[in-house]
Chain A
Amino acid sequence: MDLLNIDYEKYTLNNGLNVILYQKKNLPLVAVNIWYKVGSANEVKGKTGIAHLFEHMMFQGSKHVPKEKHFKFIQEAGGTLNASTSFDRTNYYEKLPSNYLELALWLESDRMGFFLPVLDKIKLENQREVVSNERLQRYDNQPYGLAWETIITNLFPQNHPYSWPTIGFMEDIKSYSLYDVSNFFKSYYSPSNACLVIAGNFETDKAKELIELYFSEIKRTDTKQTQSFKNFKLKENIFIHKKEKVQLERIYLVWPTNKIFSKDDAQIDVLGDILAGSKTARLNEQLVHKLEIAQDIQAFQISGNFGGAFLISATVKPNINPEKVKSEIFKSINKLIDKGSTEKELLKSKNGIKSQFIYSLQNLDTMADQLNNYNFYLNEPNYFSFDLNRYSSVTEKGLLNVAEKYLLNNHLELRISPEQ
């Protein structure tokens, strides 16, 4: 599909910074998006969450940008901005009126090259409090909010880079020193460990000149590597039961899968869609619609550079035996493995995925981030068509294969029941 064929230019500065330029001139906007190849997977036990805390610190000013001014400059220019941290990477992004491109480059280069001179204890203590509150608000104080943490700490083997949550454990958040923060910067925030995407309305020559001007003097440093981790299987089923302040019981079933963009990756995504991606998906039809034993049900995969997991979760309706829900989930899985999927449900899933690809082209910042995403995992920013093709070429046989290959293995089960 032509729409999904993105015309871009990619090159590397002398200091190793990757640059990707993509012009799109329908609006006077420009998106600037930087991925640093560091996420919580690069952390060590005892200092979990530091990649995310560090992301916060990057907004606390740099040598030429006073604290609080980073946000102010961009907002005053009519821009929007944010950042996020995941297992594998940290991204920083802003979208501004196109005539403010230079402002964004100035700010991004300043914190890439001149972060350390103005790092201080007051900033760290402040953001430690903010991040502690973020953890409380988004996880500890949410119903079922700690489920994910419980799952990954028990599913992944000890020392697996995904065996702790990106937000970090509270006692670790309390423990970071200034040295930890500056050391983290030195270990990972080299231009050679980053990729800068500029997307939108700009003139190529001018943009290149500005990028050279602001980024080329930043020195490359050696970055720490994290060892890759082999795929693993569970030796036996794991069962965890927790009682929490919730009204309804919830069941989580989780299987280890494979790395992102590996051979089975797209098939597993479609498997999730067919099982519980919509109201007409198998598990929804059976458990929510027909039997009315579950209030809601989800099935999806998360995968990254170091591995993946397939998760099914269901909230049990009041006065229903959770065992019934669990056995129905397995019945549906077994039926899929016995009889395979239908042509129709596969087509339904593919049509949905195709539309979502096109809808996602509406946002300049989403596109800039996707260019970085493809480049990060595949070293090729223009992967939209190929990516869609991964999904549209999934076959009934391929689906059956991955269902057999992964869902018949041992799994982890987490139950969260109401405290009585």
Chain B
Amino acid sequence: MIKLKRISAPKPQKISPFSLPKIEELQITNINKIIYVQKKNLPIVRFSYVLELGSRFDPADKKGLANLFGMVLDEGAGRLNALELKEKFQMLGTNFSINTSKDSVSFSFLSLKENFSKSLYLINLILTKPNFSEKDFEREKSKILTSHQQIQDSADYIADISFDSLIFENNSYAFPTIGIKDHLTKLSLQDIKVYYKNIFKKAIPYLIIVGDLEKENLARAVQTKFGPIRQYNSIKKMDKISGQKKTQIYFVNKKGSVQSGIRIGHINNKRNEKDFYSKTLLNTIFGGQFSSRLNLNLREKKGYTYGIHSSFDNYKDASVFNISTSVSSENTANAIGEIIGEMEKIRKGVTKEELSFAKSSISKRFPSNFETYGQIASNISSIIKHNLPNNYFNDYLKKINKVTLNEVKNTAVKNIHPKKSIILVVGDKEKILTQLEKLKLGKITEVGIFGDKL
């Protein structure tokens, strides 16, 4: 019989074993990289075809090209028109999607095992025999131009887009994936076709497959569908990003706003194995989860916000430290003051308890990061994105648990810069400007909704 003792938290039972899913690399041609994880508990397959051709490679006068290309590519292929093609996927109960980000474009589906081959056939048709009809192109172009107009309504979109624009200045990461209106207007079907022929067809894809499949059959299926692809080797080198010299405040005037969207942060050194683990722990303590310093202060103590979050956003060739929240207009300056205060404070280090909390939370949550087929696929795609070894997750916890208090402090000093930050506010000028002036944190500049100089 166990005795009831409410006064303190019960101790855990003996830990149950967890084995990581086995990540295998299929060698079917010497060009493609195919990562396969066999997962058996459900008759489901998750498939991704990823190309490192994100919007940051859009030419200087064609911002939005990669994204529009993704929208047009699946509008009909082979003998199927746009609607027929989509209907085929639906008949199979397969969820197919194309997603373009700054670093990559990916073609993914989640299908029942019994419909995997048929889904594979369809995705191959899209990749190899797109229709590219003028009518489909014009319709998708008009859609994206309308979306472009619509995002002006959303404080969150405006904040995210203008923050990147201010952070990255003239670097290609500065531009939104959705593109620039004037560029989009000028894009033609010919641009899409040229992109397909000269860039898309020559890029090296990597494939991620998670599901209950026989390895040999899978290799054969993939081999016949996705034969060797010629190497495209003119991936652009990263332009230099200078970073901030001193803290500056920018604001976008969104008249009538009842809240202010806030983003605070700066450029950071690129993801690397040396400080990745201490950054992860640091951010967990600072603003990475509900019980973080930022959230406990600004939400649970002050009540300024519904939530606040910070992260080191790791792009392939850059990293940004980013704090983001929305607060009621009257607390705009108060909230910024508290955030900057927390940034100063964390540079003095964290406590032993905080570090052990963060280590415990990350380590013990580890198995649940591998629960769904999509989670596994997305973990693998980050391995590939950052050129990590296939056994990366095997050593992950060891490296997390080795980080010392001193390392976290040094990491904070090196990677959190309250005096060299961009502070961006999207809100009603009449309600916020006087508040911002009183903060005396730096020069205040009004910018347009895409972070553009007025």
Contact = CB atoms under 8 A, between A and B. Distances in A.
A79 interface: yes
Contacts of B110: 359
B373 interface: yes
A97 B155 contact: no
B41 A26 contact: yes
Interface string A58-81: 000001100110011101111110
B154 A75 contact: no
Contacts of B304: 129, 133
A217 B94 contact: no
B44 A358 contact: yes
Contact of B9 (A73, A99, A141, A363): A73
Contacts of B296: 68
B291 interface: yes
A106 B9 contact: yes
Interface in B146-160: 146-147, 149-150, 152-155
A328 interface: no
Contacts of B239: none
Interface residues of B, number: 78
A362 B365 contact: no
B285 to A, nearest CB: 11
A118 B392 CA distance: 46
A315 B153 CA distance: 13
Contact of A247 (B44, B95, B150, B328): B150
B389 interface: no
A99 B364 CA distance: 10
A323 interface: no
A3 B112 CA distance: 13
Interface in A94-148: 95, 97-103, 106, 110, 114, 125-134, 136-138, 140-143
Interface in B275-319: 289-291, 296, 299-306
A76 B326 contact: no
Contacts of B18: 27-28
B149 A248 contact: yes
Interface stretch (A5-13, A158-166, A277-285, A370-378): A277-285
B139 A289 contact: yes
Interface stretch (A149-157, A181-189, A348-356): A348-356
A136 B258 contact: yes
Contact of A78 (B300, B302, B327, B365): B365
Contact of A354 (B93, B155, B367): B93
A225 to B, nearest CB: 31
A99 to B, nearest CB: 4
Given A99-B15, A126-B300, A133-B306, A29 B367 contact: yes
Interface string B360-403: 11111111101111100000000000000000000000000000
Contacts of B306: 130-131, 133-134, 137-138
Interface string B406-431: 00000000000000000000000000
B90 A358 contact: no
A133 B327 contact: yes
Contacts, number: 206
A77 B142 contact: no
A411 interface: no
A347 B91 contact: yes
Contacts of A317: 142, 146
A356 to B, nearest CB: 8
B60 interface: no
B259 interface: yes
B139 A355 contact: no
Nearest to A214: B4
Given A28-B367, A130-B306, A279-B83, A248 B150 contact: yes
A99 B147 CA distance: 48
B360 A213 contact: no
Nearest to A278: B90
A99 B153 contact: no
A364 interface: yes
B371 A29 contact: yes
Contact of A141 (B255, B259, B362, B374): B259
Contacts of A358: 42-44, 112
A131 B361 CA distance: 27
A140 B90 CA distance: 36
A72 B86 CA distance: 45
A328 B128 CA distance: 36
A248 B149 CA distance: 9
Interface in B7-48: 7-18, 41-44
A247 B152 contact: yes
B87 interface: yes
Contact of B357 (A76, A125, A142): A76
19 contacts: A28-B15, A63-B6, A79-B364, A80-B365, A97-B368, A101-B13, A102-B10, A130-B300, A133-B304, A133-B306, A137-B259, A209-B2, A280-B87, A348-B87, A352-B90, A352-B93, A358-B112, A363-B372, A364-B371
Given A26-B41, A141-B155, A355-B111, 20 more contacts: A27-B371, A28-B18, A64-B7, A72-B291, A75-B290, A76-B360, A98-B13, A99-B13, A99-B14, A106-B9, A126-B300, A133-B303, A133-B327, A137-B326, A141-B326, A143-B153, A213-B2, A247-B153, A279-B86, A348-B91
